[in-house]
């Protein structure tokens, strides 16, 4: 029933100095961390949750950021400036993916998120869009400052435009536009893809979606255990989720989707700073960073 429900919903998430500063116009009430999140703080500290949180706040402060909007164009420039070898890649229909890369040998490992929001009045997508984008940006910052392992594969950081559907009755046909275009063009040079979507909601629990590659997911859960984030990744499977990883799976590219779909504020104005947690962002960020480093080093 859950798989049928998710397919029917066709997830449209499922997504002075110019350094990010805490917003002044957003609500000044800081989300209270749950006891579970506080108890599950990672054992390592390479992912800077304060920086990632400030980047999440920056996006929320821009307001709604639907595809084609001036606010999304501003965010695209912000993202590009912070990526290694950052560039734009145009998408049919006037959209723009933003791509960064650490060079290497062979097929690329892709870490991705969508940076647009659903075109709904007052919808700022703190979890649905901003969380995944902030996570990828912070992991890109950490990895670009590290020494590249010998014979390491390329690492790409890709931010998809147009993930949100223009017609929810035909999500796959009118949504995931940026990822479909990227998969069509690049699937032959991609080894695997990790997608970050709902990774910052307060009561974080991310089971494997039924379509996510099982071997990759097992490696992710191992990485989570290594850094102390295992509580965020239960040994459970949720129903099929259509998302930006789907076009890659359909092209034969192994992929996983990090999405906590038990999120009450999906596509509602309450998906604001009160719905997300810095602790959750840290839990997911440290686990994914550990996964990426393990794959990069070939271990």
Give yes or no for a contact between 250 and 172, defined as CB atoms under 8 angstroms apart.
no
Position 33 in a domain:
no
Q: What is the pLDDT of residue 91?
A: 95
Position 22 in a domain:
no
Position 59 in a domain:
yes
Give yes or no for a contact between 42 and 271, defined as CB atoms under 8 angstroms apart.
no
Give bridge partners of residue 198 from the DSSP assignment: none
Position 17 in a domain:
no
Position 172 in a domain:
yes
For the chain, how many structural domains are there in total? 1
Distance between CA 103 and CA 84 in Å, rounded?
A: 9
Q: What is the pLDDT of residue 6?
A: 46
Give yes or no for a contact between 223 and 291, defined as CB atoms under 8 angstroms apart.
yes
| β-strand pairing of 155-160 with 95-102 | antiparallel
Q: What range does the domain containing 255 cover?
A: 2-6+41-296
Position 190 in a domain:
yes
> Which segments of the chain does DSSP mark as H helices, in order?
2-9, 35-39, 49-62, 70-81, 132-144, 171-174, 177-186, 214-227, 246-249, 278-296
Sign of CA dihedral 117, 115, 3, 276: negative
| Three-state SS letters, 98-140 | EEEEECCCCCEEEEEEECCCCCCCCCCCHHHHHHHHHHHHHHH
Position 15 in a domain:
no
Distance between CA 101 and CA 106 in Å, rounded?
A: 13
| 142-158: pLDDT as tens digits | 999 999 999 999 999 99
Position 21 in a domain:
no
Length of the chain: 299
Give bridge partners of residue 194 from the DSSP assignment: 111, 256
| 101-123: pLDDT as tens digits | 999 999 999 999 999 999 999 99
Q: What is the pLDDT of residue 40?
A: 55
Which CATH number do you get for residue 127? 3.40.630.10
CA 294 to each of CA 101, 110, 156: distance values in angstroms, whole numbers, following the listed order: 17, 14, 15
- The model's pTM: 0.88
Q: What does each of the 299 residues of the chain score in pLDDT, given as a tens digit?
A: 334 334 444 444 443 334 444 333 333 333 344 444 445 578 888 999 999 999 999 999 999 999 999 999 999 999 999 999 999 999 989 999 999 999 999 999 999 999 999 999 999 999 999 999 999 999 999 999 999 999 999 999 999 999 999 999 999 999 999 999 999 999 999 999 999 999 999 999 999 999 999 999 999 999 999 999 999 999 999 999 999 999 999 999 999 999 999 999 999 999 999 999 999 999 999 999 999 999 999 97
Distance between CA 77 and CA 67 in Å, rounded?
A: 14
């Amino acid at each position: 029933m859950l798989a049928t429900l998710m397919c029917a919903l066709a997830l449209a998430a499922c997504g002075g100095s110019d350094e990010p500063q805490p917003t002044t116009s957003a609500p000044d009430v800081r989300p209270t961390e749950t006891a579970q999140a506080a108890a599950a703080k990672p054992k390592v500290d390479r992912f800077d949750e304060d920086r990632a949180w400030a980047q999440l706040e920056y996006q929320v402060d821009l307001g709604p950021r639907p595809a084609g909007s001036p606010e999304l164009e501003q965010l695209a420039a912000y993202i590009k400036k912070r990526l290694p070898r950052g560039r734009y890649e145009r998408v049919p229909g006037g959209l723009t993916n933003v791509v960064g890369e650490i060079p290497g040998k062979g097929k690329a490992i892709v870490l991705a998120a969508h940076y647009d929001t659903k075109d709904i009045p007052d919808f700022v997508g703190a979890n649905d869009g901003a969380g995944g984008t902030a996570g990828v940006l912070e992991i890109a910052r950490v990895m670009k400052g590290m020494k590249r392992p010998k014979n390491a594969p390329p690492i790409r950081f890709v931010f998809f435009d147009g993930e949100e559907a223009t017609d929810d009755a035909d999500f796959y046909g009118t949504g995931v536009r940026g990822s479909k275009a990227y998969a069509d063009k690049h699937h032959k040079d991609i080894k695997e893809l990790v997608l970050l979507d709902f990774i910052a909601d307060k009561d974080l629990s991310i089971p494997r979606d039924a379509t996510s590659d099982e071997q990759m997911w097992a490696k992710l859960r191992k990485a989570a255990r290594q850094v102390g984030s295992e509580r965020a990744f239960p040994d459970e499977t949720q129903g099929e989720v259509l998302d930006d990883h789907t076009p890659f799976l359909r092209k034969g590219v192994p992929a996983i989707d990090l999405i906590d779909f038990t999120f009450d504020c999906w596509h509602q104005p309450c998906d604001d700073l009160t719905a997300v947690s810095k602790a959750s962002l840290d839990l997911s960020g440290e686990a994914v960073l550990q996964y990426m480093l393990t794959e990069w080093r070939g271990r």
